[in-house]
Amino acid sequence: MNLIIIIILSLFISFIWLYYLKLIDVFENEKTKFILITFILGSIIPNIIYPIHTYIYEPLGIEKGSDPVSVFLYYTLGVGLLEEAIKILPVILILRFAKKEVNEPLDYVIYATVSALGFAFGENVEYAQAYGHEVLLMRSILSVPGHMFFSAMFIYGYVLYKHHQQPSKSIFLFATFGFVSHGIYDFLLSIESPLIGSLLNMIFFFLLVQIFITILNNSLNNSPFYKPNKTINQEKIRSQIAQLYVVVIFLIFAYYFYLNGATKGMRAFVWFLLFESFILGIIVVRLSRFSIIPGTWVPVKPEFPFTVITQNSQDNDFHIFFGILKIKGESYNDSAISQLYGEAIHIVPLSANRSALKKTHKGIIEKKLFLQAKAVFLVKVYFNDSVEQHKHFVLLAKTSGTTHAADNSPIASLNSLTSGDVGSLVFHEWVVLKKIK
């Protein structure tokens, strides 16, 4: 019975992130059968590790050791390199036998991360049997996404080589980056002081989150199937991934309370609230926020997924840690306007008394532009029913105060553009953008 519950919980955890990958794959969806095959292969391949340890590592005397250097080398070369190389095998099989399915940069990353999720599923079952099902809580927040991050890094060099004309050495560099990051993560977990180890691991993990979202964003930026009106629904990702995590966390704690009693259960729950829930919140929010700029390759570098607010900010963006930190990424309102791209809309003045437009006009968003990495929208406004009289304006999402009308239509500033930067926008008024049904 215990094994069945562990398998169900472990499968549920992997499903959360499989669903996440489906939500962000907006330009050209992968076929379910190939995703399923990759996941199954990923869940089987951990069994290869044991004979490698028995017939290769042990005869060669490769072991963890006791000094920090030996421990680090073991986790990097003995664990990180081995696991990342094994996790990439299902992707190689997909490229060999279903090459036509891999037709955009994101596909490489998706198949690598699906394999990683299969691997994490098998590993979760093993760890939960050995140490108790409660380890699934921490692993669902750190280890499972971590496996995705490492595999994405491991294959990203090949993405750059195939789609960004980078030299072949990029393949080796990012593969090394992936397995060394895996080794660092495991090494930090092995630190004897739980508090220091947890703190260092959290800091390192945040760097991985930003690296992963950069890899995803670059892959989406360079999809040959890009269409401006196909957008990632940030709110849907945040709400549904959060809801799925609430379910799995409830199930884990319910079973933990049942097996261990209320006292131990409450201790574990308090630790979750103090530490793991903070990490989970940042993961869910940051991994929902994309700034899709066609043809752009942003350098992958270690940085935090949030910025420090140095002055009072009145925007409605995601703030954490008493408002001191702001989550990076495109705001929801920019995405809401992107969804109206190419659609017939009504442009409704927010204040009719002080309106430059005087009244509601029809229009159409013709282009999504990027001025200094800031998304703006070129809109054609028609001044009569025959659409002969028209004028172009620039829309910029409203991010402070009230950003949406009562019917959830986005509010934007209507501007004229005098040169090629955001600072040259001449503000006219606030308008509500309503899709014509």
294 and 360 both lie in a single domain? no
Choose the final residue of a domain: 292, 308, 324. 308
Query: Is 167 within the bounds of a domain?
Result: yes
Residue 84, both tokens:
């990342």
Task: Say if residue 201 is in the same domain as residue 300.
Answer: yes
Q: Which residues pair with 417 in a beta bridge?
A: 425
Indicate whether 281 and 357 sit together in one domain. no
| 237 & 342 share domain | no
Q: Is residue 107 part of a domain?
A: yes
The structure tokens 């829309």 sit at 395
Domain co-membership, 301 together with 338: no
Measured between alpha carbons, how far is 397 from 315 in angstroms, rounded to an integer? Answer: 11
Instruction: Please indicate, yes or no, if residue 352 is contained in any of the structural domains.
Output: yes
270 and 360 within one domain: no
- Residue entry with tokens 């495109």: 330
In this structure, the number of other CB atoms found within 10 A of the CB of residue 16 comes to 20
Place of tokens 């989550």: 327
What is the span of the domain harbouring residue 40?
2-308
Among residues 308, 342, 368, the one where a domain terminates is: 308
- What integer pLDDT is reported at residue 252 of this predicted model? 84
Per residue in 231-273, pLDDT tens?
888 889 999 999 999 999 888 888 777 777 666 656 666 666 6
Nearest in space to 268 (alpha carbons), one of 121, 126, 144, 133: 133
CB crowding 213-252: b at 16 or more within 10 Å, else e: bbbbbbbbbbbeebebebbbbbeebbebbeebbeebbebb
- Give me the mean pLDDT over the 208-216 stretch: 97
Element (H, E) at 416: strand 411-417
Q: Are residues 354 and 298 in the same domain?
A: no
pLDDT band at 56 (very low <50, low <70, confident <90, very high): confident
pLDDT at 345: 92
Is 79 inside a domain boundary?
yes
Residue 137 lies in a domain: yes
CA–CA separation, 103 and 30 (whole Å)? 10
Give the total number of structural domains in the chain: 2
Q: Is the pLDDT of residue 300 over 90?
A: yes
Up-side HSE of residue 387: CA atoms within 13 Å toward CB? Answer: 5
Q: Residue 348: what pLDDT?
A: 92
Q: What is the pLDDT of residue 343?
A: 85
Q: Does the pLDDT of residue 23 top 90, yes or no? A: yes
The whole-model pTM stands at 0.87
Q: Does residue 409 sit within a domain? A: yes
Strands, sheet with 319-320, edge to edge from the N-terminal-most edge strand:
306-308, 325-327, 319-320
C-alpha gyration radius of the chain: 24
Determine the Cα–Cα distance for residues 257 and 38; give it in Å rounded to an integer.
35
Q: pLDDT tens, 417-433?
A: 776 666 678 888 999 99
Co-location of 109 and 189 in the same domain: yes
135 with 218, same domain: the answer is yes
Residues 172, 99 share a domain: yes
CA distance 158 to 105: 9
- The confidence score (pLDDT) of residue 313 equals 56
Quick check: is 314 in a domain?
A: no
- Say what percent of the chain tops pLDDT 70: 89
Contacting residues for 263 by C-beta, under 8 A, at least 6 apart: none
Instruction: Say yes or no: 274 and 392 in one domain.
Output: no
Residue 302 belongs to some domain of the structure: yes
**Residues contacting residue 141 through CB under 8 Å, at least 6 positions apart:** 276, 279, 280, 283
* Strand runs labelled E in 358-410: 361-371, 374-382, 390-397
Q: Are residues 301 and 340 in the same domain?
A: no
- CA–CA gap between residue 210 and residue 38 (Å, rounded): 25
- Joined together, the tokens standing for residue 146 give 């971590």
- DSSP lists the bridge partners of residue 307 as 326
Q: Is 292 left (phi over 0), alpha (psi -120 to 50) or beta?
A: beta
Mean pLDDT for the chain?
A: 86
Residue 62's φ and ψ, nearest 5 degrees, are -80, 110
For residues 106-115, give the mean pLDDT: 97
Pick the closest to residue 177 from 142, 150, 216 (CA basis).
Answer: 150
The Cα–Cα gap between 213 and 227 comes to: 20
Selected residue with higher pLDDT from 138 and 105: 105
